[in-house]
């Protein structure tokens, strides 16, 4: 009975999210506002627009690291980070390239079960989009993007996924350092990492790949992944 109740609650929650977000999209569409969409490989260039890099957290503590287009680097609570992103998306004329370190795409097998993406295995280690902390930061990213939609800003917002994982055991996460390393990849700093085309993210066991926000009734598309190389790989490449 408890399993059935949890399943029903999950369906109701997903249904509420779809209705809510579709309402925001209808309003934005009626007003002719620019829509959020996945960025492209061609747009993954420093000069293609304003860049903001976000190490996504979901806490009242300062768990979100943000590197703003003006170079300001700081850590924020979830609520403050969400409001800052909505502000950044509502002012300025240049496109806003928004990098979120959270899973922005999802892979499924032919029978509909979640499976890992091509970037989520390194040797025997895995960092799947559908397990562990990835689920928490996905929810945080969804609320952040909802805040951007509600603000109905005038500038185009292009999404890019950040992937900073497979860190050395015992190394404490540094939100400021992580967003700086993501920027280094886009800025083409040697050894910093690589930008993974969306068409290569589907793993051999996956039948399809889609926007992670599809469950909310949104289809931003599948963005490229800005992948920071683990420190041992980066050092070897130098």
Mean pLDDT computed over 124-131: 94
Q: Who has greater pLDDT, 201 or 12? A: 201
Q: Who has greater pLDDT, 161 or 93? A: 161
Q: What is the pLDDT of residue 12?
A: 41
Q: Count the neighbouring beta carbons within 10 Å of the beta carbon of residue 238.
A: 7
Mean pLDDT computed over 58-76: 96
Mean pLDDT computed over 93-122: 96
The C-alpha angle with vertex 106 and arms to 142 and 220, in degrees rounded to 5, equals: 50
Q: What are the residue boundaries of the structural domains of the chain, listed by start? A: 2-237
Confidence band of 154 (pLDDT split at 50, 70, 90): confident
CA-to-CA separations, 10 to 4, 7, 29, 77, in angstroms, rounded: 10, 5, 28, 26
Q: Does residue 188 surpass a pLDDT of 90?
A: yes
Mean pLDDT computed over 131-153: 93
Q: What is the pLDDT of residue 34?
A: 52
Q: Give yes or no for a contact between 149 and 35, defined as CB atoms under 8 angstroms apart.
A: no
Q: What is the pLDDT of residue 33?
A: 53
Span 195-219, pLDDT tens digits:
999 999 999 999 999 999 998 888 9
Span 38-57, pLDDT tens digits:
999 999 999 999 999 999 99
Confidence band of 169 (pLDDT split at 50, 70, 90): low
Q: Who has greater pLDDT, 150 or 167? A: 150
Q: Count the neighbouring beta carbons within 10 Å of the beta carbon of residue 27.
A: 13
Q: What is the pLDDT of residue 216?
A: 87
């Amino acid at each position: 009975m408890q399993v059935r109740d949890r399943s029903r609650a999950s369906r109701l929650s997903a249904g509420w999210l779809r209705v809510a977000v579709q309402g925001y999209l209808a309003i934005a569409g009626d007003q002719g506002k620019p829509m959020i969409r996945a960025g492209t490989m061609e747009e993954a260039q420093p000069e293609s627009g304003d860049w903001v890099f976000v190490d996504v957290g979901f806490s009242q503590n300062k768990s979100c690291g943000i590197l703003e287009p003006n170079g300001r680097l700081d850590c924020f609570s979830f609520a403050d980070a969400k409001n800052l992103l909505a502000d950044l998306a509502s002012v300025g004329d240049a496109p806003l390239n928004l990098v979120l370190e959270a899973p922005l795409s999802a892979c499924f097998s032919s029978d509909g079960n979640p499976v890992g993406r091509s970037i989520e295995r390194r040797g025997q280690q895995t960092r799947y989009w559908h397990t562990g902390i990835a689920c928490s930061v996905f929810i945080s990213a969804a609320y952040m993007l909802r805040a951007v939609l509600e603000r109905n800003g005038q500038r185009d917002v292009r999404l890019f996924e950040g992937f900073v994982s497979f860190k050395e055991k015992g190394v404490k996460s540094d939100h400021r350092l992580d967003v700086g390393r993501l920027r280094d990849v886009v800025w083409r700093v040697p050894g910093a990492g690589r930008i993974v085309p969306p068409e290569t993210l589907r793993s051999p066991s996956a039948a399809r790949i889609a926007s992670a926000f599809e469950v909310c009734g949104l289809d931003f598309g599948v963005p490229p992944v800005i992948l920071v190389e683990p420190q041992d790989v980066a050092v070897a490449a130098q």
